[in-house]
Amino acid sequence: MENLEQDYRANPEQDHYDLGDGNIDDTGDYEEMDAATRRRIDQQLNRRDAILNNANRSRRGAFLDDDDDEDEDDEGEDSMGQFGLPIQRRRRREHHDEDQDDLMDDVEIDPFNEELSLESLSDVKAPSITEWILQPAVSRSIARELKSFFLEYTDANGDSVYGNKMRTLGEVNAESLEVSYKDLADSKAILALFLATSPEEMLKIFDIVAMEAVELHYPNYSQIHQEVHVRITDFPNILNLRDLRESNLNQLVKVSGVVTRRTGVFPQLKYVKFDCLKCGVVLGPYVQDSNTEVKISFCTNCQSKGPFKLNSEKTLYRNYQRITLQEAPGTVPAGRLPRHREVILLSDLVDVAKPGEDIEVTGIYKNNYDGNLNAKNGFPVFATILEANSIRRKESSAFMGGNNLVNMWTEEEIREFRKLSHEKGIIDKIIASMAPSIYGHKDIKTAIACSLFGGVPKDVNGKLSIRGDINVLLLGDPGTAKSQILKYAEKTASRAVFATGQGASAVGLTASVRKDPITREWTLEGGALVLADKGTCLIDEFDKMNDQDRTSIHEAMEQQSISISKAGIVTTLHARCAVIAAANPNGGRYNSTLPLPENVDLTYPILSRFDIMCIVRDLVNPESDERLASFVIDSHMRSHPTNEEDILNANGKGGSDAQDDDENMEDEDGVDQPSAARTRSERIEQLNKQKEQEISPIPQDLLIKYIQYARVKIQPKLHQMNMDKLARVYADLRKEAITTGSYPITVRHLESILRIAESFAKMRLSEFVSQNDLNRAIKVSIDSFIGAQKVTVKQKLRSKFMKYTL
């Protein structure tokens, strides 16, 4: 025990520490780690220790004897893990039993490379799915299954679906890869569930794996695009904008609506790097969140608190744009105002949608802090935004004119449409089905039917486009059901926007430029004609608009576009819609001794843009007035619930019981009233006979679907028609227009006749325009022309043009 102090003296020959691989160097310098990285590594170390302890106990208890423990540490060499931490490699002691040779192999346990099976992913061992996905082992397992999905998923023919998409993506140098949610759900259902529940974390993994898969086909693709974005399509659950609630936050949602406003494109910070002005070191990169601004508190190199400068050369940006999505006009509940949401477009999604387009947006529903909103409400409120992942134009809408309508109608419905089209007098039946609750006005119903079915738009050599929509003007005395007919057209057309002349200005009908209150930039906002693109715009009280407002819609009615050049914004918006307008004449009532231009304050350019003009007169005629009164009374009696039994009795369905009831009817004083009852029943029976003689209308639900099918699927062509007759009609109309002093006839009216003929062919679901369709169109145009003349020349014109209308 003597000279113990000599053991603590320095001995260079023996004081040697093994600093080889597998040991931690306590004297060396390591890179500075932030708090988040340090916590993540601590968690991984704890998990490694737990796995090693469990593995050691299980192996020793199953395969090793107690006296073998001391020899284990001397065998094998240690290996370094992902973060430079030692991974212990242990070798099992060989036994003499030949049956246990397989258990004598080397076993390496690396918790940083651990992965889970697809079945184990569904066993969520975390408080939430988001926290479960963030675990390294789970993230690696998800990435492995996604890569397998991209490389191995095939279609019915055995072809690789996403292999072909990746090759196409590389050929066009795109940065978006469309992935069908249905394909993912069929192949990896648990991944589809994770995607719908925690889309933000899942899409980050999707983008990384997609880039790796694309690089298998194009190894240097990262030099063209730093990222490949996965766009989710075919998401099944579509919501209305007004149905988005707190339960949808941070989840994948799909909504539809009309784009009403769009901002410019801005560069947004994505990965930020800063320069420390004291020591010159580059800090970062830091991920820029859309909600919070990245701020540096101290330098990790010199520990100073600044100042720091943004390194613009090494900072990465991405495109950023905001649009306003509003509920489509046909989806807003009655008596409600349309809701809207702000949608954020990033990267290659910018400028995908224009104001007025009907789109479907699949994205992440998020909350966003808005200081102005909190100051306005006086308590903490978060604004909600929708970060778009994919956008699809709704060309499949009934009036959008798209070609992707394979599954919109069933085979049974198509057979019913074809059967209905072959019925005798189908055109007259469709016209009689227009606004069946309104008596008479066959010319107006014909015009509305032609406008709803529409003609065929034409594109001449890709340079000149000729509209196929039919514009209608209803002009006449008050109380002639003009507004009611407009309301019927609004309900029948699946895409319609209703406006009034007094409540609509020029910018309200076309487009406006306004300054965004947040970004302080000028943005474009579409009006009624833009929102009704590929639909119908209904304008009531058209005569109440001022001249400047009416002039603004000239371009929209003929070229079907709206050009904007305001506040530095120069663009063109689509307004491919039919215009059905109603107006009252000057002085309240139409004066038949004056021509049309003197009865209404509309200029010749605006009148020439209407294909059909219907003049409605409220004339006193005892016979027609009595029929009208009978029709109105019949409608009220049939719609009254207490008269259903009387109608059945009048139709003979009550039998002798109806007669007994009539005989036993008494008034309040006990006086029999058989004569009054018989008179009432006879009246109803007489009305029923009149109804049987009239054309029975088509049910409205079937008629709406029929119109949709005809507009989208039927594109009739002009073939083997008497064009000489059309030329003579046009020449005679121009001659009489000059003679009578009415509104001039132009080439637009010649095109109008062809459009009307095409609409009649659509009513028959015919691929060709027949001569009968052309004759009907000529008659409609001539009746429209004659109806706008003075009463003194009407009879003369009817006699002259009778040869064309027979």
| Model confidence pLDDT, tens digit, residues 630-689 | 666 766 666 655 544 554 454 444 444 444 444 444 444 444 444 554 555 555 555 555
- Rounded Cα distance, 755 and 466, in Å: 10
| CA 327, 330, 331, 337 torsion-angle sign | positive
- Rounded Cα distance, 760 and 229, in Å: 48
**pTM reported for the whole predicted model:** 0.59
What residue numbers bound the domain in which 369 lies? 238-393
Highest mean pLDDT among 140-149, 354-363, 460-469: 140-149
Query: 């140098």: which residue's tokens?
Result: 173
Torsion (CA) 132, 141, 177, 153 in degrees, nearest 10? -130
**Do 563 and 604 form a contact (C-beta atoms < 8 A)?**
no
Model pLDDT, residue 405: 40
- Whether residues 193 and 310 fall in one domain: no
Q: Which of 233, 255, 289 is the endpoint of a domain?
A: 233
**Do 778 and 770 form a contact (C-beta atoms < 8 A)?**
no
Q: What is the CATH number of the domain that holds 342?
A: 2.40.50.140
Angle at 193 between CA 187 and CA 196, to 5 degrees: 120
Closest among 364, 337, 52 to 199, alpha carbons compared: 364
- Whether residues 263 and 343 fall in one domain: yes
Closest among 247, 223, 225 to 237, alpha carbons compared: 247
Percent of the chain with pLDDT over 70: 72
Answer yes or no: is pLDDT of 51 > 60.
Answer: yes
Mean pLDDT of the chain: 76
**Do 650 and 684 form a contact (C-beta atoms < 8 A)?**
yes
Structure tokens at 640: 């009254």
**219 vs 744, residue with greater confidence:** 219
Q: Which of 393, 418, 452 is the endpoint of a domain?
A: 393
- Which of the four pLDDT bands, split at 50, 70 and 90, describes residue 74? very low
CA distances from 125 to 46, 119, 373 (A): 16, 13, 38
**Beta carbons within 8 Å of 619's beta carbon, 6+ residues apart:** none
Give me the phi and psi of 766, to 5 degrees please: -100, 145
Q: Does 752 fall in a domain?
A: no
Model pLDDT, residue 191: 92
Q: Does 172 fall in a domain?
A: yes
Closest among 143, 93, 87 to 118, alpha carbons compared: 143
- Whether residues 297 and 382 fall in one domain: yes
- Whether residues 302 and 349 fall in one domain: yes
Structure tokens at 706: 């029929």
Model pLDDT, residue 199: 93
Q: Which pairing describes strands 472-476 and 578-583: parallel, antiparallel, or unpaired?
A: parallel
- Which of the four pLDDT bands, split at 50, 70 and 90, describes residue 693? low
Model pLDDT, residue 425: 87
Answer yes or no: is pLDDT of 548 > 60.
Answer: yes
Model pLDDT, residue 107: 36
**Do 613 and 599 form a contact (C-beta atoms < 8 A)?**
no
Closest among 607, 594, 591 to 740, alpha carbons compared: 594
- Which of the four pLDDT bands, split at 50, 70 and 90, describes residue 540? confident
- Whether residues 51 and 146 fall in one domain: no
Strands (E), 121-165: none
Q: Does 670 fall in a domain?
A: no
- Whether residues 242 and 286 fall in one domain: yes
Model pLDDT, residue 406: 40
**496 vs 8, residue with greater confidence:** 496
- Whether residues 252 and 386 fall in one domain: yes
Model pLDDT, residue 78: 44
Query: 């992935």: which residue's tokens?
Result: 179
Number of domains forming the structure of the chain: 3
Cis peptide before 307 (omega within 30 of 0): yes
- Whether residues 314 and 286 fall in one domain: yes
Q: How many CB atoms lie within 10 A of CB 669?
A: 5
Element of type H or E holding 492? helix 482-492
- Whether residues 252 and 389 fall in one domain: yes
Answer yes or no: is pLDDT of 118 > 70.
Answer: yes
Lowest mean pLDDT among 298-302, 399-403, 508-512, 638-642: 399-403
Q: Which of 347, 367, 393 is the endpoint of a domain?
A: 393
Lowest mean pLDDT among 13-27, 97-111, 708-722: 97-111
- Rounded Cα distance, 269 and 286, in Å: 10
- Rounded Cα distance, 559 and 464, in Å: 9
Cis peptide before 285 (omega within 30 of 0): yes
- Rounded Cα distance, 517 and 156, in Å: 52
- Rounded Cα distance, 487 and 249, in Å: 38
> pLDDT tens-digit profile of 786-800?
888 887 788 888 888
Mean pLDDT in residue range 698-717: 89
CA distances from 370 to 77, 254, 340, 379, 519 (A): 58, 24, 17, 12, 13
**Do 498 and 461 form a contact (C-beta atoms < 8 A)?**
no
Angle at 677 between CA 672 and CA 679, to 5 degrees: 125
Model pLDDT, residue 325: 92
Mean pLDDT in residue range 526-542: 84
Mean pLDDT in residue range 314-318: 78
> pLDDT tens-digit profile of 194-244?
999 999 999 999 999 999 999 988 988 888 888 899 999 999 888 989 999
> pLDDT tens-digit profile of 346-359?
988 988 888 878 89
- Whether residues 213 and 193 fall in one domain: yes
- Which of the four pLDDT bands, split at 50, 70 and 90, describes residue 448? very high
Q: What is the CATH number of the domain that holds 203?
A: 3.30.1640.10
Angle at 535 between CA 424 and CA 708, to 5 degrees: 35
Element of type H or E holding 780? helix 771-787
CA 690 to chain centre: 47
- Which of the four pLDDT bands, split at 50, 70 and 90, describes residue 517? low
Closest among 758, 772, 806 to 449, alpha carbons compared: 758
- Whether residues 315 and 389 fall in one domain: yes
**413 vs 653, residue with greater confidence:** 413
Answer yes or no: is pLDDT of 112 > 60.
Answer: no
Which amino acid, residue 449?
A: A
- Rounded Cα distance, 45 and 52, in Å: 10
Q: Does 336 fall in a domain?
A: yes
Torsion (CA) 508, 513, 514, 516 in degrees, nearest 10? 130
- Rounded Cα distance, 282 and 271, in Å: 13
Answer yes or no: is pLDDT of 541 > 60.
Answer: yes
Lowest mean pLDDT among 190-204, 234-248, 334-348, 589-603: 589-603
> pLDDT tens-digit profile of 752-767?
999 999 999 999 999 9
Model pLDDT, residue 453: 92
Mean pLDDT in residue range 728-733: 88
Model pLDDT, residue 399: 34
Percent of the chain with pLDDT over 90: 16
Max CA separation in the chain (angstroms):
145
Strands (E), 726-799: 768-769
Q: Does 330 fall in a domain?
A: yes
- Whether residues 244 and 218 fall in one domain: no
**Do 409 and 682 form a contact (C-beta atoms < 8 A)?**
no
Closest among 613, 617, 631 to 742, alpha carbons compared: 613
Q: Does 244 fall in a domain?
A: yes
Q: Does 410 fall in a domain?
A: no
- Rounded Cα distance, 708 and 453, in Å: 8
Answer yes or no: is pLDDT of 142 > 90.
Answer: yes
Three state DSSP letters for 11-70: CCCCCCCCCCCCCCCCCCCCCCCCHHHHHHHHHHHHHHHHHHHHHHHHHHHHHCCHHHHH
**Do 395 and 376 form a contact (C-beta atoms < 8 A)?**
no
- Rounded Cα distance, 700 and 696, in Å: 12
Strands (E), 477-557: 496-500, 511-515, 522-526, 536-540
Structure tokens at 663: 């005989």
Structure tokens at 154: 């095939």
Give me the phi and psi of 637, to 5 degrees please: -65, -40
- Rounded Cα distance, 345 and 331, in Å: 24
- Rounded Cα distance, 410 and 402, in Å: 17
CA 85 to chain centre: 52
- Rounded Cα distance, 482 and 582, in Å: 6
Q: What is the CA radius of gyration of the chain?
A: 39
**Do 712 and 405 form a contact (C-beta atoms < 8 A)?**
yes
Q: Does 785 fall in a domain?
A: no
**73 vs 720, residue with greater confidence:** 720
Q: What is the DSSP string of 272-338?
A: EEEEETTT-PEEEEEE--SSS-----S-TTT-----EEE-TTT-EEEEEEEEEEE--GGGSPTT-PP
**Do 482 and 474 form a contact (C-beta atoms < 8 A)?**
yes
Answer yes or no: is pLDDT of 65 > 80.
Answer: no
